[in-house]
Amino acid sequence: MLALVYLAHCAAVVIGGAAIVWLISLAMRDTSIIDIYWGFGFTLVGATCLFVANNAAPLTDFQWLMGLMPILWGLRLTLYLAKRNLGHGEDGRYIAMRKRSGLPEMTWRIRAFFTVYLGQGILILLVSAPVWIAIAYGKQVGIGVLAIIGAAMWLAGVLFEAIGDAQLARFLKENADYDGPYETKPVLDTGLWAWTRHPNYFGNALLWWGIFIAACSAPFGWVGVFGPVIMTILLTRVSGRDLLERKLSKRPAYKAYVERTSGFIPRPPKRG
């Protein structure tokens, strides 16, 4: 199956990249730099698929579209997370994971390669299935209705995520000097955050469903439906919304925010 050839090339590059980042994390003593690699992994998938396809024959407009969507989104996310995270030390989530393990620090960091780094590499390959399937079978495919609809969804998702991230960054900067109790910290409830409690997560899900819709233009493109399904589950049930809200729900102002604001899909806020 041709798609498996593309998957194999992507796996070698993505897992190899994760291994390099893991080695860097050992020197930095910071496992959380894998978060920055998450977006870049999708950039590597898009670039690898375009490289492999171009060796077989000149790239079509459809293949360029399917490759550039994850490349551009991945670069934006990588740069945003690098600016936000670097220089602030290891994320508390990973410190807590290390402490819960009860292992010596270096032993845990070695185990983290298999549980965190390799695990995220595999997730990148699964989520990006619409990309490597569509590019593998996209030699005779033009940019039709599905590709246009998918690209429009992708663009809307990228903008939603980017604007939501920018609004959050501005809010955090404006409230950086707050030193009161955690329970009374200000809550961001304006802009896109008035329509959904997680505009960045919604935008992320939307853009991957857009990539899938576009991929359906190619033969077997529909097979990659598990990619956006996995991403949506991650964003809503695993490492995204639910994980974050377990902590935020301790704040009375956030509870009120929950009552009037959609948890994921945007809608006008309820009037209290």
- pLDDT tens sequence across 151-175: 999 999 999 999 999 999 999 899 8
pLDDT of residue 243: 63
Q: What Cα–Cα distance (Å) separates residue 180 from each residue in 176, 186, 247? A: 11, 10, 17
Inform me whether the pLDDT recorded for 79 exceeds 60: yes
Per-residue pLDDT, 255: 81
Mean pLDDT calculated for residue range 51-77: 96
In whole angstroms, give the CA distance from residue 25 to residue 34.
8
Mean pLDDT of 41-58: 95
Angle at which helices 129-136 and 199-215 pack, to 10 degrees?
A: 20
Report, as an integer, the average pLDDT of 192-201. Answer: 94
Assess whether pLDDT exceeds 90 at residue 209: yes
Q: Is the dihedral of CA 12, 134, 229, 42 positive or negative?
A: positive
pTM of the predicted structure, to 2 decimals: 0.92
Residue 82 pLDDT > 60: yes
